[in-house]
Structure 1
Amino acid sequence: MILLVNFGGPRDVDEIFPFLTALLQDRDVVRTNLPVWMHNALFKRIARKRARSIAHDYNSIGGRSPIYFDTEEIAEQLREKLQVPVLTFHRYLPSTHKDSLQAIEKANANVIRVLPLFPQFSYATTGSIARFFAKHLCCKTLSRLRWTTSYSAHPAFISSYQRRLADFLQENQLSADNTLLLFSAHGLPRSFVCTGDIYQAECELSYQRIMQAFPHFVSKLSYQSKFGKGEWIRPYTDETCSSVSTWCEGKTGAVIVPLSFTSDHIETLFEIEQLYLPLLQDQGLTAYRCPALNLAPYWIDALAQIAQDPQWASTQMLIRNPEVSWCCSQPN
């Protein structure tokens, strides 16, 4: 049995507020020293305000995030390909949690292979879901979970990205003679990396491995989607786009490649497409957004390979500062 886990995304504009509330109240994502009740109250207010301000952004990409629907479709295709049950879990869609947790608890399998759709490990993504399960699943169920923790350099993942990018370059008749590549990954606070999160190193490894197939291209790796006042890992994608004339080496075209996003959603369809491409165009470049892997058949094949990789980790190994929680196997 496979348990496919992902970020989740609002399925309509009405779901933006609960989605953002769940995201910002997650202390693996937003770390504060506030008491839990104060943290939750503060970030619920911020989520309400933020939901109103970004409703237009979602409306500009069709009024919803595709990530939920893509995750469900990937699960269906993996069921057909591997002939095994595949469950799904969407971290920041609270309305789906009850049914998802019940399905996991009732799963008739000695081993449940957890496959995150996050190629690069972070305590803020895979680690957050591990903590959520540790808090909400029975201890006996937790003991059946076998996590694929990271596949940032897995040959199946790397070859999928190389194929996606090569196909895109060919379709648009782009070459190293006239085009640069800007890989953009989701950002993370610098403090997370300084306290042991390996996400940045994982992104750099993925970038280096993918670029082995494109040795003649000018390229960079940057990080996007910063929010709040603190320092995040650099370079920032918006600044990298605005200063492209300093590193483009005379290239007249640019392709932004979404590195840590395996499915297109608000960060690619709005942020890259509508915010970053214009920054490159303002510098006189012809700018393109390479699609994420989405539902490409070779990506489904790659996930099937990754899901069957013999390496795995337990839930507690993935949690930053794990907490002792109630366990159904302990005596009352």
Structure 2
Amino acid sequence: MAADGVAVLVMAYGGPGSLDDVEPYLLDVRGGRPTAAELVEEITRRYARIGGRSPILERTEAQALALGRVLGPAWPVYVGMRHWHPFIGETVERMVARGERRVVAIVLAPHYSALSVGAYEKRLLDAARGRLDLALVRSWGDHPKFLEAVAERVRRALQRFPVPGAVQVLFTAHSLPERILAAGDPYADELQASAAAVARLAGVGEWRFAYQSAGATPEPWLGPEAGAVMTELAATRKNFLIVPIGFVSDHVEVLYDVDVAYRGLAERLGVRLERTDSLNDDPLLVAALADLARSTATERGWA
């Protein structure tokens, strides 16, 4: 147990560790509902294209390790995944067994939605069953160090182009069902605010925002979709930079949806597409997470 009684739990979506894991992983994502064979085959093909597995666990563990180094040994840092091992529930049992009681929980998704961060919160509360005193960081897309980390990536990426000022910057994030808007969900507004702040910091005058990676369901999802925006602008813009501001590490939505699918679209459109490097365990991101842990613990009177 931490000397000051505070542990940190970082949570991410999770992903299959091998191609054989794809079907059971999708079963968890879909809440136990079977997945159509064609969809399993398609998702398996995507993971095969990016190395045969998801790198999200090792990326999250690297972020947690770096966070632990910044916070110091008095703040044990744990990793829990929403849809694959180590599941949030598995990690909670480890924490309880080790005597942790007060926990700052941070979802590695900077922008709040009831359908995303809210789902992590529910899994955590259900797993804890009152055995942990939990302080959940619900939103942190406005943290200055996060914004500066993304802005630095934008500045670097623009230098790959011969005329940086002529590049169409396109911020993206994971789409969610449109119905969240009727419920007053802050997701879309938080994303727009983060994108605008990064654009100011990076000196980007003209930019667009779009969504990517919509689910395979018949209901409407948030748009515009990034590929549609690229297609719309391709007649007048020949250089694009995608900034996946809704994601903080490499995983299938970045390595396949951007690097394979959107790059393929760019080739068909006759335009150049680059993307910013993922933050992964960037020191500025880690510093932001450390600030969040400390300030949240202080607000609760734990530190």
TM-score calculated relative to the size of structure 1: 0.81
1:270 equivalent in alignment to 2:266 = no
1:252-271 matches, within 5 Å, as: 252-271=238-257
- Aligned counterpart in structure 2 of residue 99 of structure 1, from 74, 90, 93: 90
What is the count of residue pairs matched by the alignment?
A: 291
Residue of structure 2 equivalent to 1:291: 277
SS of the residue aligned with 1:140? coil
Q: CA shift at 1:181, angstroms?
A: 0.5
Q: 2:123 aligns with which of 132, 139, 144?
A: 132
Scaled by the length of structure 2, what TM-score is found?
0.88
Residues 184-223 of structure 1, C-alpha deviation per residue, up to 9 Å, x if partnerless? 1100110122123221111111111111124444311000
C-alpha contact (below 8 Å) 1:18/1:94 kept by paired residues: no
Aligned partner of 1:121 in structure 2 is 112
Mapped pair 1:188 → 2:176: yes
Q: Does 1:156 align with 2:145?
A: yes
| TM superposition shift of 1:8 | 0.8
Retained in 1: the 8 A contact 2:109–2:248?
A: yes
Aligned-partner SS, 1:120: coil
Shift of 1:101: 2.3
Matches within 5 A, 1:230-241: 230-241=219-230
Residue 16 of structure 1: aligned partner:
22
Unaligned runs of 5+ in 1: 26-39, 315-332
Aligned to 1:64: 53
Offset at residue 162 of structure 1 (A): 0.6
Partner of 2:10: 4
What's 2:292 paired with? 306
CA contact (8 A) 2:107 2:117 kept: yes
Alpha-carbon distance, 1:288 to partner: 0.9
Structure 1 280/209 Cα, relative in aligned 2: closer, same or farther at 3 Å? same
Q: State whether residues 10 and 78 of structure 2, in contact with CA within 8 Å, keep that contact through their aligned partners in structure 1.
A: yes
Quote the Cα distance in structure 2 between the aligned partners of 1:187 and 1:176: 28
Distance 1:291 1:223, change over 3 A: same
Q: Contact 1:147/1:313 (CA < 8 Å) preserved in 2?
A: no
Corresponding letter in the other structure for 2:29: L
Q: Is the 8 A contact 2:210 2:226 kept in 1?
A: yes
What RMSD, in angstroms, separates the aligned Cα atoms of the two structures? Answer: 2.2
Cα distance, 1:297 vs structure 2: 2.5
Deviations 1:159-190 (A, max 9, x none): 111111112223x1454432111111100110
Amino acid at match of 2:256: F
Give, as a single letter, the amino acid of the residue that structure 2 aligns with 1:45: T
Gaps of 5+ in 2: 1-6
Change (3 A) 1:313 1:90: farther
